Structure 1
Amino acid sequence: MSKQIYEKFEPLKNARLVLGYLTSMVDEKADNLPYWLVLPHKKPAEAAHCRVDDAELVGSWYEAVDAVRKMLKTEEGASVQQSFYRHVMKSWGEHGLRFHEQYPWTHTNHSSFHEMGYILPALNRMIENHPGDQEAEMRASELVRGLRTLVIERKVRTFWSGDNEEKEPIYEFPNDVYLKDDGFDMTRHSGRGEQAIRNAIVLHSLVRRYEITKDEVSLDLAIGIANHLLGPSRYFNYKMEFFGHIHSAGWVASGLVRLGRTTGKQRYILAGKGIYDYIRSLSSSFGWVPEYAQWHPLNEEHCETCCIKDMIECANELILAGYEEYWKDMTLFARNQLVENQVKVSSYVVTDNTRPDGNGITYRDIDKRMIGGFTGGAMVNSISLSKFRSIAGCCVGMAPVALEIVWDRSVEFHNGTLFINIPVDKETEQASVTMDYPESGYMSVMPKQHCHVAIRMYEWMGKDIRAKIDGTAYTPAMEGKLAIFRNVAAGAKVELEHSLETVVVTETARGEEYSISWRGCDVVDIFPRGEHLRLYQRDLRVPKTYPSAEDVQFTGAANYGPTQQAQTK
């Protein structure tokens, strides 16, 4: 194996970095309450609390910490994860809804149905981690039943041609917020619009809850929400195109596919696939995904890391539904834009540790604590610090879920066969896997027990494939896209090699033309190059360039603090 001169895809390193962020970008005086808002452009830099910290973040960050701790097999972060658990278990109200504590930086206390889409997945994880957790089960059960009591059930279609009874359940929420003291106040709304899709992100976790507990109410609610979304909401056209929030639509798409797999109803799978394919048509080949569809000109869009997570999660659901072509997207999106969207340097940050923390704001060691965060607004070739949400707490909660999916599915063992689905260095109970991408097209697999070895083949591998077992040439059998090495002995070395050269491809992304330098499945450079945090500086022979504090001139919401941001998230 040649010396590595290009930066490798190493998910455990990304997991380690984000674990540091998740366990340090918290308020120890408030039982490790997360900080959603991080402002590295300010001089000095700061992080500030806002309402969403105790709304969706305590749920999504519980999931995130759990995901990376499992990847890393570490006890580090356990105490912070337990803090998130305690936060989730507080502030429950009528109809089983979760609200939030009344902090100085919050305003009208309300529950958002969109935010319940972050809370229920956390409860699902708690129940999966500890099946005897009665409190988590109670909260999940009451939340599902509370949501079910709050929907409008459309039973009869009344039209000029007469009255027709609906054959299947159709459920929609009357509003997108529920006030803690006043319930549904139809004079109030979140202002986001798109209530049908925003309220429906709970779909995936409803189906997951049914799979875990066989909760029929959860499945019924999922079916009714899906039927409304695909029918009377008129949110999607006949090609499953839409106008609006891609994070919500992508998350709903993965829920639809999962619902279809669970119920055996192909129409849900096809709907989810259609939504995914439409979002994919707006995205780059390497995983830059716009935050909105048809809201701004495409060249004004930015990539919210949440959207990449949704695409990876939905690709995984589609693979499980039998569409194996989506392995390519999962691989390319994960090892390129997903990990590039993680902040790894902070040389440009001005930190003032003499300022005391207080009033919901922290200044301490922001330059160190922000490492490992994920951006809420990347351009194709950079993370621009002059844009608001250069780091976003929501994305920090979502990206680890995608990392975990990719890590778990990269190397799998089923029924006596070891599957190598994604080229990655990984040690499991069944095998040691190493790869040399993007320097050379080489991977080796050393099983720890007698088994078959199946290596997934991709178009970037070309046709000049060379394979060996213990140094002896071997011709694997091909089954679809899998190269099968049969009856490999424990400790034997399976090798697969192919030629790999740098290929420059012109691609239009974000409405603009770029020259993309590919080495197999990895992007190693992009031209034109961006500012401030240049992405894809993956050639280790070339010194990386980063901005100084003087280079960063913030042009966005310079005065945003907890109060203002609470209104915009």
Structure 2
Amino acid sequence: MAIEYIQKDYPDFDIPPYKGTSYESWIPDTLDLAERADLAINGLTGPTDPEADYEAYWQVNFFRNPPIMWHDIDDVQPKFMEALPLLRIITGSQYNNQVDFAWMTTLLRSIGPDGLIYMPLIGRPWAKFYRGPDGYPNPVWKENGQTTNIDDPSVEFIAQPWVATGRLLSTMVVYYNRDNNEIWKTTAQSVVDRLTTLAIHKDSFSYYVEGSFEPNATVDKNSKMPQGVQAGLSTGRLIQGLTHVYKFMDYKPAIELAGKLVSYLINHAAFFDKDGKFIENTEERNFIHFHDHAIDLLFILEYATETKDMDLIKFVNKSYKWARTQGSCTVGFFPEIIEDIPISYKYPQHQRGCLVSETCEVTDMINLALKLTKIGIADYWDDVDRWVRNQFAENQLTRIDWIERIHNPAKEINVMRVGETDERVAERNIGAFAGWPSANDWSLTAGIMHCCTGNGARTIYYVWENVITYNNDKLSLNLLLNHASAWADVKSHIPYEGKVEIKINQRCNVLSIRIPEWIESNSTDVICLVNNHPKQTTWNGRFVEIASLNQGDTVILDFPIEEKTVTEMIGSVLYTLVIKGNEVVFIDPPGKTHPLYQRAHYRENNTRWKKVKRFVPDKHLDYF
């Protein structure tokens, strides 16, 4: 059965090409975010269903024989839709670009008569399978103010005011900034207008009732005000999208609504305490899911940055510093559940005891550290560097040979349910991100829930965008990673050697390079050569600065790098880690399914090289 959207047709639009300069280059075989972006494009477009307008599959189970993936309620695809054009900006890749058109079309066909975005149920039977522990998507609010549930045959379309709508606002912002088509701007504004009328407004804050909505729904203004996780899901997930609409489309009602939602989440939702600590003690849940809080904290920070609200920024910083204590700052492992789950709550055994993380938590913390650093409230560059190089990089699926080894032929299952597929599941998910990794293993069971892939893919762009920054004739290299840009090309030997090479592509008055945390400030062990001649440097905090560089100059920076051995409890397991620079090169005990940190080659002290195709975009979006 074909999917029936609320709109039968859609307005014309074009997808402009991703223009830039491509060239081949030999670079050190170390972490390269452009390469990871290229893989992630497969991880976003591969696990999609061409028979369902390229709808993304929600979860993947590599432990079943054969591996399968299946559809569920559609709250993940909007994350994919936002991230995909960002990754194409990095790489210039047109791989599987039929997916882009399909997703843009389905978005425009999902705009209801009241301006909100509606998910179709006809032709998508899997949309009724999901039942969250919080009861979502029920109740379903109707036009007459009454409620029903998603199993009611009369319910054909529902709107989600949480993940889907918030991320789709951001998606339309990305589209608009690429093609300048007014359709995205007017559509986003109509969504904001409807969200404003649908909210329950108090003097200083606003919120949404629990559940989902039919077109032109009316809600009971006297309904119970959501608390805890319900507040975060129903209200908090909208804040970033609203802030984006204001920032990039200059629509003031969006930031006004965002401000009222922030006030609710901070002051009235029993979601954070006064010091920013995550709290949860409601009827639905009495344990803390890290990501539910951390992602909303990031969105609050986006709002606070745009409105220059220093009190809010300080609140987020305080919360971030507390959150750092709940996981491993060494590798960037942050647990899915901060405290163990009560036995009465039905959660899989592997998710108990803080054994696993989700890529979602890792990305939340990376992005909080990055944003707080950018706005100058603190310096967390080393947090970003450690976590990107370790748990984040290891969480991306780059190999699939191990999947065959874990199958039990005696347990082969060939029966496919509605919404499931076993077609080339492993290959189609290369570049996706782990759903439940431990500190030493890519997966203890199952494999992927694609919310992690959406958040991981977007984080690649966030970090890539900030490796190098240029402002007032000052070029800053903030993270010593391989990178190609219009300003400079970077070749990073870390962790083989303490060495970075920078080729200047545009003249700059000052080149400022952040020195890794294992080197003391003002150390004389940092040696600089420009065009093979010694060059004087000046320390400025954690950066060394080199004056007056011209196009074509080559800068080489050398500094010590050594191994150290540490013992740390991560996710309730005691590990021994060998760390070179900031990168884990050995972990004990090792993983059993797909062990992480297979990095013995980094300990050789001689750089391995690889030939790559580099791409420098003509234009990138200053998105984060």
TM range (shorter): 0.7 to 0.9
1:394 maps to a residue whose letter is C
- Matched with 2:423 is 364
Q: Given that residues 57 and 71 in structure 2 are in contact (C-alpha distance below 8 angstroms), is that contact kept between their aligned partners in structure 1?
A: yes
- Matched with 1:166 is none
Q: Distance in 2 between matches of 1:474 and 1:299?
A: 53
- Matched with 1:344 is 398
1:223 maps to a residue whose letter is G
Q: Distance in 2 between matches of 1:185 and 1:295?
A: 36
Q: Given that residues 19 and 68 in structure 1 are in contact (C-alpha distance below 8 angstroms), is that contact kept between their aligned partners in structure 2?
A: yes
Q: Where do 1:114-263 residues align within 5 Å?
A: 114-115=162-163, 116-134=165-183, 136-155=184-203, 169-179=204-214, 184=219, 194-198=229-233, 199-243=235-279, 244-263=288-307
- Matched with 1:32 is 54
Q: Secondary structure at the match of 1:240?
A: coil
- Matched with 1:488 is 549
Q: Where do 1:558-569 residues align within 5 Å?
A: none
- Matched with 1:332 is 386
Q: Return the offset for 1:467.
A: 1.6
Q: Distance in 2 between matches of 1:355 and 1:174?
A: 42
Q: Return the offset for 1:365.
A: 1.4
2:263 maps to a residue whose letter is N
Q: Given that residues 35 and 48 in structure 1 are in contact (C-alpha distance below 8 angstroms), is that contact kept between their aligned partners in structure 2?
A: yes
Q: Given that residues 273 and 318 in structure 1 are in contact (C-alpha distance below 8 angstroms), is that contact kept between their aligned partners in structure 2?
A: yes
Q: Distance in 2 between matches of 1:99 and 1:194?
A: 23
1:322 maps to a residue whose letter is G
Residue number among 438, 441, 444 corresponding to 2:498 in the alignment: 441
Decide whether aligned partners of structure 1 residues 284 and 137 sit closer, same or farther in structure 2, where only a CA change above 3 A counts: same
1:455 to 2:532 alignment: no
Decide whether aligned partners of structure 1 residues 274 and 95 sit closer, same or farther in structure 2, where only a CA change above 3 A counts: farther
1:228 maps to a residue whose letter is Y
Extract unaligned runs of 5+ from structure 2.
1-25, 129-149, 151-156, 280-287, 343-351, 604-624
Q: Secondary structure at the match of 2:167?
A: helix
2:422 maps to a residue whose letter is Y
Decide whether aligned partners of structure 1 residues 237 and 324 sit closer, same or farther in structure 2, where only a CA change above 3 A counts: closer
- Matched with 1:417 is 474
- Matched with 1:42 is 64
Q: Distance in 2 between matches of 1:260 and 1:104?
A: 40
Q: Given that residues 177 and 184 in structure 1 are in contact (C-alpha distance below 8 angstroms), is that contact kept between their aligned partners in structure 2?
A: no
Q: Secondary structure at the match of 1:19?
A: helix
1:456 maps to a residue whose letter is R
1:467 to 2:528 alignment: yes
Q: Distance in 2 between matches of 1:131 and 1:5?
A: 36
Extract unaligned runs of 5+ from structure 1.
156-168, 543-569
Q: Deviations over 1:90-133 (max 9, x none)?
A: 33336533221221222225322222222221122112222223
Q: Return the offset for 1:208.
A: 1.7
Q: Distance in 2 between matches of 1:187 and 1:292?
A: 33
Q: Given that residues 69 and 77 in structure 1 are in contact (C-alpha distance below 8 angstroms), is that contact kept between their aligned partners in structure 2?
A: no
- Matched with 2:35 is 13
Q: Given that residues 303 and 379 in structure 1 are in contact (C-alpha distance below 8 angstroms), is that contact kept between their aligned partners in structure 2?
A: yes
CA RMSD, Structure 1 to Structure 2 (Å): 2.9
1:239 maps to a residue whose letter is D
- Matched with 1:307 is 361
Q: Secondary structure at the match of 2:546?
A: strand
2:511 maps to a residue whose letter is V
Decide whether aligned partners of structure 1 residues 95 and 319 sit closer, same or farther in structure 2, where only a CA change above 3 A counts: farther
Higher helix content, 1 or 2:
1
Comparing 321-330 with 294-303, which one deviates more in the overlay? 294-303
Q: Distance in 2 between matches of 1:170 and 1:338?
A: 36
- Matched with 2:285 is none
Structure with the bigger RCO (C-alpha within 8 Å, sep 6+) is: 2
Q: Given that residues 7 and 539 in structure 1 are in contact (C-alpha distance below 8 angstroms), is that contact kept between their aligned partners in structure 2?
A: no
Q: Given that residues 502 and 519 in structure 1 are in contact (C-alpha distance below 8 angstroms), is that contact kept between their aligned partners in structure 2?
A: yes
Q: Given that residues 335 and 522 in structure 1 are in contact (C-alpha distance below 8 angstroms), is that contact kept between their aligned partners in structure 2?
A: yes
1:403 maps to a residue whose letter is I
Q: Given that residues 337 and 354 in structure 2 are in contact (C-alpha distance below 8 angstroms), is that contact kept between their aligned partners in structure 1?
A: no
Q: Distance in 1 between matches of 2:94 and 2:63?
A: 33
- Matched with 1:546 is none
1:518 to 2:598 alignment: no
1:18 maps to a residue whose letter is A
Comparing 65-74 with 245-254, which one deviates more in the overlay? 245-254
2:503 maps to a residue whose letter is M
Decide whether aligned partners of structure 1 residues 294 and 117 sit closer, same or farther in structure 2, where only a CA change above 3 A counts: farther
- Matched with 1:384 is 443
Comparing 89-98 with 443-452, which one deviates more in the overlay? 89-98
Q: Where do 1:502-541 residues align within 5 Å?
A: 502-540=563-601
Q: Given that residues 115 and 190 in structure 2 are in contact (C-alpha distance below 8 angstroms), is that contact kept between their aligned partners in structure 1?
A: yes
Q: Distance in 2 between matches of 1:153 and 1:478?
A: 52
Q: Given that residues 453 and 485 in structure 1 are in contact (C-alpha distance below 8 angstroms), is that contact kept between their aligned partners in structure 2?
A: yes
Decide whether aligned partners of structure 1 residues 497 and 345 sit closer, same or farther in structure 2, where only a CA change above 3 A counts: same
Q: Given that residues 305 and 374 in structure 1 are in contact (C-alpha distance below 8 angstroms), is that contact kept between their aligned partners in structure 2?
A: yes
- Matched with 1:373 is 432
Comparing 63-72 with 90-99, which one deviates more in the overlay? 90-99
State, as a whole percentage, how many aligned pairs show the same letter.
23
Q: Distance in 1 between matches of 2:418 and 2:369?
A: 42
- Matched with 2:347 is none
Comparing 301-310 with 400-409, which one deviates more in the overlay? 301-310
- Matched with 1:556 is none
Q: Distance in 2 between matches of 1:145 and 1:268?
A: 25
Q: Given that residues 25 and 369 in structure 1 are in contact (C-alpha distance below 8 angstroms), is that contact kept between their aligned partners in structure 2?
A: yes
Q: Given that residues 5 and 540 in structure 1 are in contact (C-alpha distance below 8 angstroms), is that contact kept between their aligned partners in structure 2?
A: no
Q: Distance in 2 between matches of 1:527 and 1:154?
A: 54
